[in-house]
Structure 1
Amino acid sequence: MLDDETPVLDNHLHLDPDAHRGIDAVRDFARVGGTHLLVVNKPSWHLGVEADTGEDFRPVFERTIEIVADASAELPGRAWPVLGVHPGLISRLVDDRGYSPDEAREIMQGGIDVAAEFVERGEALALKSGRPHYDVAEAVWEASNAVMCRAFEHGGDLDCAVQLHTEASEDLTAVAEWAEDRGLPAHKVVKHYAAGRLEGPTPSVMSDKDRLERAAERAVEQNAPFLMETDYVDDPGRPGAVLGPKTVPRRVRWLLENGRDDAVRTAHVETPELVYGIDTEGTLEGATGQ
């Protein structure tokens, strides 16, 4: 087991409140030393919502907040919700449901607007947006970038981070500049499913050993922030995908065993404070003031 005083944060995973493991996955995470979670709402259609307006996303967000509260009760630290609209929805709207790219953009921006309401009220920590990681028509690409920029606008107004699902890249400086143009600092833009090195946003590194080695080296060489994640999807058809909920605590133990104490502190204490303004040490059971 890890030291009880070591915060261990999985920056991006999903929990299915009804159809799969849900809180059992949280218990697995906690059992091997996990302390804190950022829980991203599952894609709306995975929860049975085929959105036609921004308001249609509201029950998805409300259900996510409920399971995050249940998750917090199982953790020595706590969990926070990250709410938004999965960028892959645009293909579902345009290709499967017959909406134009502009109509799809309006629906998805409406969903981001609703998610921002929860952040403004303090019920969610951050927003989630992005653009497809696969080839799409130019009009769909432009509409997706417009949705992402709406999230940046809210992030700038609310001083909250925005997690991004995008194409694989080690250089997203242009995207970070779009955020900064809208009042959101680049370090508050988080590239989910990142490799070990990234220019522009803060990388949320998939927790395989090769990527973590690169991230740890960059943290030392350049004092570069990073986070760790599994992108666990909690899908009954894909058990364990993408990485299982025990992975981050196990990788933290591996990093510590290999003398990467500074990198662990970067990923689980300093970067969460920098990006989200959260105190992973102070929110642990037994911490001063708890």
Structure 2
Amino acid sequence: MDELDTPVLDNHLHLDPEHGQGMDAVRDFEHLGGTHLLVLNKPSWHLGPVPSERADFHTAFDATIDAVTDANGILPGEAWPVLGVHPGLISHLVDEGYEAEEARDLMQEGLDLAAEYVADGRALALKTGRPHYDVDDAVWEASNDVLKHGLALGAEHDCAVQLHTEATNDLTDVAEWAEERGLPAEKVVKHYAGGRLAGPTPSVMSEKARLRTAVETGEPFLMETDFVDDADRPGAVMGPKTVPRRVRWLLEQGHDDAVARAHVETPELVYGIDTVGTLDREE
């Protein structure tokens, strides 16, 4: 496979060496021309019991950091951990008997712990959000409280915050919450986004139709697969080869500027990372 003359960043995927492909997925990504990864911790209930106290979140966070360390031995660029609490946890907690407010408090404690990893340099950014499915009013209100807490932590630690939310092209409300707390809206990233989004920065699922839209907007965007690295669901949501393949396709279509926007300019804008400077190409 011919080398791509650009950094190639997958902005949102999971790695699970114990239960999934692990480093084989990273090698597939790298072989197709991938260079950089943002690795999100898997939902905590995928890696053990549903958390019942703050310390329980260490399991998912530490497993992610270990995977990133191994990935950095493979990639010509760099991988970074993004740590936080999946918004779907609130439903698991409520199912176990928690009141919505109690679940909120535990999830906020998990985010506080993730922020400590950011503060000491072990993680790049945070993740939070709200359910993408129907919930009752109490759970919705509690979930928005968790999301706002994550935004406040992002402002406090000057880091980006990735969001898992309902499908929408308009999150201006969330962007306003971020700005109110001192976090610039561009440092809020909607994971699993379409090609057009009002408010935060979209992390566009790497489907051709969505990418065409993102290219047409001329706005900052990122690309992702949301690869879940689950042996029972190989390739879900998208496989690790997808972003490099889509970058190659965009370049073939003449969209060099859009590729630079997604893989160089927007990562710098949102995360403060230099995907060119961290790229070690062997001559």
TM range (shorter): over 0.9
Counting matched residue pairs gives: 283
The amino acid across from 2:92 in the alignment is R
Residues 139-158 of structure 1 show CA distances to partners (whole Å, capped at 9, x for unaligned) of 00000001111111110011
Q: Quote how far apart the aligned CAs of 1:43 are.
A: 0.3
Alignment of 1:165-180 (within 5 A): 165-180=164-179
* 1-structure distance, mates of 2:149, 2:53: 16
Partner of residue 273 from structure 2, selected from 264, 278, 285:
278
What is the DSSP-based 3-state SS (H/G/I as helix, E as strand, rest coil) of the residue aligned with 1:103?
helix
* Structure 2 counterpart of 1:212: 211
- Contact kept? 1:105, 1:144, Cα under 8 Å: yes
* 1-structure distance, mates of 2:162, 2:21: 24
The amino acid across from 1:275 in the alignment is V
* 2-structure distance, mates of 1:197, 1:60: 31
Normalized against structure 2, the TM-score is what?
Answer: 0.98
1:248 matched to 2:243? The reply is yes
- Contact kept? 1:153, 1:182, Cα under 8 Å: yes
* Structure 2 counterpart of 1:67: 67
What is the DSSP-based 3-state SS (H/G/I as helix, E as strand, rest coil) of the residue aligned with 1:42?
coil
Q: Once the two structures are aligned, what percentage of the paired residues are identical? A: 69
Q: Quote how far apart the aligned CAs of 1:242 are.
A: 0.3
1:33 matched to 2:33? The reply is yes
Normalized against structure 1, the TM-score is what?
Answer: 0.96
* Structure 1 counterpart of 2:163: 164
* Structure 2 counterpart of 1:49: 49
The amino acid across from 1:8 in the alignment is V
Q: Quote how far apart the aligned CAs of 1:5 are.
A: 3.8
- Contact kept? 1:5, 1:281, Cα under 8 Å: no
* Structure 1 counterpart of 2:127: 128
* 2-structure distance, mates of 1:48, 1:62: 13
Go from structure 1 to structure 2 and tell me whether the alpha carbon gap of 1:178 and 1:2 turns closer, same or farther (over 3 Å shift).
Answer: farther
* 2-structure distance, mates of 1:147, 1:51: 16
Residues 209-263 of structure 1 show CA distances to partners (whole Å, capped at 9, x for unaligned) of 00000001112xxxx1000000000011111000000000000000000000000
* 1-structure distance, mates of 2:173, 2:251: 34
What is the DSSP-based 3-state SS (H/G/I as helix, E as strand, rest coil) of the residue aligned with 2:149?
helix
The amino acid across from 2:268 in the alignment is E
* 1-structure distance, mates of 2:140, 2:115: 23
The amino acid across from 1:75 in the alignment is L
- Contact kept? 1:176, 1:186, Cα under 8 Å: yes
What is the DSSP-based 3-state SS (H/G/I as helix, E as strand, rest coil) of the residue aligned with 2:18?
coil
Q: Quote how far apart the aligned CAs of 1:63 are.
A: 1.3
1:269 matched to 2:264? The reply is yes
1:93 matched to 2:93? The reply is yes
The amino acid across from 1:7 in the alignment is P
Partner of residue 255 from structure 2, selected from 260, 268, 271:
260
Q: Quote how far apart the aligned CAs of 1:89 are.
A: 0.5
What is the DSSP-based 3-state SS (H/G/I as helix, E as strand, rest coil) of the residue aligned with 2:126?
strand
* Structure 1 counterpart of 2:234: 239
* Structure 1 counterpart of 2:82: 82
Structure 2 unmatched ranges of 5 or more:
none
